[in-house]
Amino acid sequence: MTHSSSNILCLDSGQTDFSERLNALLSRETDTGTDVQELVAGILADVKQRGDAALCDYTTRFDHWNCDARAMSISSERMQEAWENVSDLDREALQLAVTRIRDYHEHQLQQDWDYTDAAGLTLGQRITPLDRVGLYVPGGKAAYPSSVLMNAVPAVVAGVEEIVMVVPTPGGEMNELVLAAAHISGVQRGFAVGGAQAVAALAYGTESIPPVDKVVGPGNKFVAAAKRQVFGTCGIDMIAGPSEIVIVADGGNPAWIAADFLSQAEHDEAAQSILISTDSRLLDQVAESIEAHLQVLPRAAIARASVETHGALIHVHSLDEAADTVNRIAPEHLELALEKPDALLPAIKHAGAIFIGHFVPEALGDYIAGPNHVLPTNRTARFSSPLGVYDFQKRSSVIRASESAVQAIGPAAAHLAHREGLQAHALTLELRLKDNK
């Protein structure tokens, strides 16, 4: 395989040092350093202590507009106004997306259940929604109305009573499409604040912003650090890292594959795109197409930095090797651009979202397909899942026992309590056993 003019790393699974080189490729520094952690800790403590005053100080400093408690509030009326003022095409696209996202997530709803066992205990589980969630919407390099939809709609489906949105507004400029998306997806109110200070406000509450039960939504490294530090005070969805895509291809249109490869690279210089193929000629053709696309894409500088720093073209010698490599990477997005993709699917263990066949680019899932685009990054697909209704619901166990049921299993429980040296625990059972003899 020849090297492309884009200077993308080329690997071959037959190389003796392939495993080491793949590990090096995957060991991107996506976590935040101690300097960021300490800076964020100071912001969190300040907002916790001074509330709105600290929040506005940071907003004035970082977003460069004169913030006050009244100005940072975004009412539901303001969101509705944005919805009415965007174009018909905008409304139609947002409405279609909301409908499809809602329909998909309704399949995730969990139900209460119970059963009665042989001892006579009735055991079960209750499902209840969170009361209030905070939605962080990223801003800055780009505006993401799709992020509003993907975070808010599952919360509404789950039965969350109140959704509070925070969104950075550099220069005080509101993004109308983000506000329109908030309206149509069920956000009740918002605040024009971002960064670690917004996460602090959601976690601890201020005079204007109510504390929430869970903070969801992606952000920059300061937001990620803040979410990590407030976890425990409230819940979080995940620590989101830079975007990732892995494409496994054994044929197809090189221009399509190259575009898919660049779809994540254009997000961020730290994003990672990897193409795996058994066909070295296809890898060369895609490399040429990547360079051709980079000549015309508006965000080419960002995409080029991403692919030349973190991207890779990997030649493997069988689809079994391809599956093994995918599972080591555990990517956020996985495209199986294969002649027989369903044959490889059972071998895939770790991936956030899987796109089957040549006609399903990752971007379809980003906006309109229905499944959630908030996905585990940085190899966390090994142990975590896409955002869903289950992130906005919680489970309570339920135990109901009759006298005879306690007689049946209580002695064993009392014995175990004694063995642990917890005599009061044992006493609670022994009194009931004695009194009902």
CATH number at residue 176: 3.40.50.1980
Residue 165 φ/ψ, nearest 5 degrees: -105, 140
Taking the C-alpha atoms of residue 229 and residue 41, their distance in angstroms, rounded to an integer, is 7
pLDDT in tens, 293-347: 999 999 999 999 999 999 999 999 999 999 999 999 999 999 999 999 999 999 9
Same structural domain, 145 and 276:
no
Same structural domain, 326 and 339:
yes
Collect all residues with Cβ–Cβ distance below 8 Å to 196 and sequence separation of at least 6.
39, 40, 43, 44, 222, 223, 225, 226
Q: Report if residue 395 sits inside a domain.
A: no
Given a cut of 80, whether residue 164 has pLDDT beyond it is yes
- Kindly state the average pLDDT of the residues 176-185: 97
Taking the C-alpha atoms of residue 326 and residue 324, their distance in angstroms, rounded to an integer, is 5
Same structural domain, 23 and 51:
no
Given a cut of 60, whether residue 141 has pLDDT beyond it is no
Amino acid occupying residue 190:
G
Cβ atoms of residues 109 and 117 within 8 Å: no
Same structural domain, 111 and 168:
yes
Same structural domain, 42 and 61:
yes
Domain limit, last residue, from 178, 209, 236: 236
pLDDT computed for residue 434 by the predictor: 85
Same structural domain, 228 and 246:
no
Q: Report if residue 337 sits inside a domain.
A: yes
Same structural domain, 256 and 344:
yes
From residue 372, alpha-carbon distances to 92, 181, 204, 389 in Å are 19, 15, 28, 10
The catalytic position among 266, 332, 335, 362 is 332
350 by Cβ neighbours in 10 Å (0-12 / 13-18 / 19+) ranks as middle
The alpha helices in 335-392, defined as continuous H runs, are 341-344, 362-367
The catalytic position among 333, 335, 362, 373 is 333
Q: Report if residue 390 sits inside a domain.
A: no
Domain limit, last residue, from 189, 209, 236: 236
Given a cut of 60, whether residue 2 has pLDDT beyond it is no
Taking the C-alpha atoms of residue 228 and residue 19, their distance in angstroms, rounded to an integer, is 31
From residue 74, alpha-carbon distances to 110, 167, 187, 390 in Å are 33, 10, 11, 28
Q: Active site includes 332?
A: yes
- Number of domains forming the structure of the chain: 3
Identify the domain containing residue 417 by its residue range.
Answer: 401-435
Q: Which two tokens stand for residue 164?
A: 């509070």
pLDDT computed for residue 110 by the predictor: 96
Q: Report if residue 178 sits inside a domain.
A: yes
Domain limit, last residue, from 236, 252, 269: 236
Same structural domain, 295 and 264:
yes
Q: Report if residue 391 sits inside a domain.
A: no
Q: Report if residue 377 sits inside a domain.
A: no
Taking the C-alpha atoms of residue 279 and residue 97, their distance in angstroms, rounded to an integer, is 36
Q: Please state, rounded to an integer, the average pLDDT across all residues of the chain.
A: 95
Same structural domain, 46 and 64:
yes
Same structural domain, 273 and 254:
yes
Strands 333-337 and 73-74: unpaired
pLDDT computed for residue 139 by the predictor: 80
Same structural domain, 228 and 289:
no
* Closest by CA position to 193, among listed 219, 155, 213: 219
Same structural domain, 303 and 202:
no
Q: Report if residue 110 sits inside a domain.
A: yes
Share of the chain above pLDDT 90, in %: 91
* Closest by CA position to 324, among listed 265, 253, 240, 246: 246
Rounded to two decimals, the pTM is 0.94
